[in-house]
Structure 1
Amino acid sequence: MTQTPLKIMYLNPLASSAAYDDIFADMAREHKLPGTEVHVTSLPEAEGGFTHIEYRSYEAMVTRGIIRAARKAAKEGFDALAIGCFYDTALHDAREISGDMIVTAPCQSSCEIASTISNRFGVIVGRRKWVHQMQSTVHDLGHAHRLSGFYHVELGVTEFQADHAETGRRLIEAGRKAVEEDFAEALILGCTMEVGFYREVERKLGVPVIDPSIAALKRAEYAAVLKRQCGWVPSRKWSCEAPPEDEIARFGGFDDGEAFGNRVVVPAEETGPARRAA
């Protein structure tokens, strides 16, 4: 009997950065299982022209779009969705509205993976601005005793892909401090736009380096496998209780208009270029 492909969505929580979707599609193409279909999506332009959400106020603005996207993905029958921001923006909000679909995010996924391959890990981040919020998340996840520290390279989200040589140099410099001075046994790259750099840093420093976009995608995929094989679906009791459908219909705003802007589909068992869908 032919197995229905796993369907995973990787959501870029921006609208005006749809060009980055191809980068994430390449990542999915390289790392997904053969029987997994991945849709890389971004938010519609109606959700704002953000090129990054480094500020809490920007996060608040796009949270509505993430919630709407999660609800739509669940209705489309996706097994799991990964939110593509290391702040884990709207993770709990999206889970609440996602039905039987599993929702993951980069920080939680990366820390979980790092904790299985090391006792102590460091996080390399773009700007000092990010540290307070990300540190709070890592602590809330229960990993404070494993954290060697945060190491900033003073690059904003939109700057990581501008000059690969300079980005690589800064990441290695920060990683060397984490490993050689603070004794980190693994490193996490603390921005999804650092995608593609982890192998270079690993070669230079000799410790595992976790790319958060890969971590979020693979954690979503693994959870989807477990859901199918073991029947482990998300709980909707107590703190995970979903809002009543009659209230959602009465309040409005959840299902109106388009939930997605750009979409790149990486099919299961793919051998050629990604297929685009409007």
Structure 2
Amino acid sequence: MTEKPLKIMYFSPIAGDEAHDAIFADMARDNKLPGTEVHVTSLPASEGGFTHIEFRSYEAMVTRGIVRAARAAAREGFDAFAIGCFYDTALHDAREVSGDMIVTAPCVASCEIAASLSNRFGVIVGRRKWVHQMQSTVHEHGHRDRLAGFYHVELGVNEFQADHAETGRRLIEAGRKAVEEDFAEALILGCTMEVGFYQEVERRLGVPVIDPSIAALKRAEYAAILKRQCGWKPSRKWSCEAPSEEEMARFGGFDDGEAFGTRVIVPADEAGPARRAA
């Protein structure tokens, strides 16, 4: 009997559109394994028209949508769910209601991968505004002693894809400082909208460069494989305890309305140019 495909959801906690969805569908197509089906999804219009969540107040507003999306994805039978924001917004909250589905996010996934490739890594971020929160997140994930520093390029989330040449120049400049002045041995791009730049930065600087959207997707995929092959499911003991179904139903708000806005499906048998050429 043919084994059913792994099902991974990559969820962007913003209001998706055709251009946004195409970027991440191409990312998934080029990097997923054969036999993995990926759904690229986003917030429904009822949760607001956010194009980024750079501010904590914006994060607070979309957290409900992330929790509802994770719960809906688990009910649809997804093996893993990746939250597409480097703040790892609502990571622990979404895990509580995800059942046996794996939940991960770009910062925790990128740090795990960077730590497996180097002793010290730097994180290139868009704006100085982000550093305080991201530093706390990296420390929470246990990588305080591996962190060489944060290097901002003064670009907002919506600006990374506007001028690729200028974005690339700024990323390389920041990465050079991290590597040559602070001795970082690997780099993480600290925004999912930096997708598509890691290979050129890596080529120019000679160290591993982690694209966080790819990291989140691949970490989700790997965890789903381990769950299927080894039976390693998420814990629901102690700090990982889930709320009861009875109480969630009584409180309301967890299952109301649409959980997703746009959705693009990358089939299990579909591969992009990078994968077909491999």
Q: Deviations over 1:144-167 (max 9, x none)?
A: 111110000000000000000000
Partner amino acid, structure 1, of 2:29? R
Matches within 5 A, 1:16-35: 16-17=16-17, 19-35=19-35
Q: Is the 8 A contact 2:125 2:131 kept in 1?
A: yes
Q: Is the 8 A contact 2:16 2:41 kept in 1?
A: no
Q: CA deviation at 1:270?
A: 1.1
TM-score (norm 1): 0.97
Q: Deviations over 1:83-141 (max 9, x none)?
A: 00000000000000000000000000000000000000000000000000000011111
Instruction: Determine the C-alpha separation between the residues in 2 that align with 1:59 and 1:24.
Output: 21
Where 1:135 maps in the other structure, the secondary structure is helix
Match in the other structure for 1:83: 83
| Deviation beyond 2 Å, 4+ runs, structure 1 | 16-19
Higher relative contact order (CA 8 A, sep 6+): 2
Match in the other structure for 1:152: 152
Q: Is the 8 A contact 2:120 2:184 kept in 1?
A: yes
**Structure 1 gap segments, 5+ residues each:** 274-278
Q: Deviations over 1:235-277 (max 9, x none)?
A: 111111111111111111111110001000000011589xxxx
Match in the other structure for 2:247: 247
Alpha-carbon distance change, 22 to 225 in structure 1, aligned in 2, over 3 angstroms: same
Q: CA deviation at 1:16?
A: 4.8
TM-score (norm 2): 0.97
Q: Is the 8 A contact 2:30 2:271 kept in 1?
A: no
How many residues in Structure 1 have an aligned counterpart in Structure 2? 273
Partner amino acid, structure 1, of 2:59? E
Partner amino acid, structure 2, of 1:226? L
Where 2:246 maps in the other structure, the secondary structure is helix
Q: Percent identity?
A: 85
Instruction: Determine the C-alpha separation between the residues in 1 that align with 2:33 and 2:190.
Output: 24
Q: Is the 8 A contact 2:14 2:51 kept in 1?
A: yes
Match in the other structure for 2:181: 181
Partner amino acid, structure 1, of 2:26? D
Partner amino acid, structure 2, of 1:231? G
Where 2:215 maps in the other structure, the secondary structure is helix
Cα RMSD (Å) of the superposition?
1.1
Partner amino acid, structure 1, of 2:225? V
Partner amino acid, structure 2, of 1:257? G
Q: CA deviation at 1:17?
A: 4.8
Q: Is 1:235 matched up with 2:235?
A: yes
Where 2:22 maps in the other structure, the secondary structure is helix
Q: CA deviation at 1:15?
A: 1.3
Q: Is the 8 A contact 2:29 2:272 kept in 1?
A: no
Alpha-carbon distance change, 260 to 157 in structure 1, aligned in 2, over 3 angstroms: same
Match in the other structure for 2:36: 36
